[in-house]
Amino acid sequence: MVFVVQIKSFAISFLFGIILSILFNLLYSFLFTKYNILNIVNTFLFCFIMSLFYFYLLYLINGGIIHIYFLIILFLSFLIYNKIFVKLRVKCCFLKRKQLKK
């Protein structure tokens, strides 16, 4: 694989992991309900659609060649952004509570 195509694939994997984390956090209230079977179906559909979109993007960039390190970068960026997002969410909630008490 050409170096430029590989760098593009790395970048797409990293950005897609961040986008996946953002969408999962935004749609969290819609994906999870009090019904367990509905939670399973919603989670499966979300993961299936997002994985199809990711593989389609890889197909457009590098002809559909998938390496394990693309998936590792995807999951690492998902986890890193999720950790940052959780910390920011906790800080925002703390600041809002602090302002409400005044």
Question: Rounded to whole angstroms, what are the CA distances from 55 to 32, 48, 71, 88?
Answer: 25, 11, 11, 30
The whole-number pLDDT of residue 6 equals: 92
Task: Please give the residue range of the domain that contains residue 7.
Answer: 3-101
**pLDDT value, residue 94:** 65
* This prediction's pTM: 0.77
Task: List per-block mean pLDDT (blocks of 10 residues) for the chain, which spans 102 residues.
Answer: 90 93 79 79 90 94 90 92 78 66 62
Count: domains in the chain: 1
Phi, psi of 2 (to 5 degrees): -65, 145
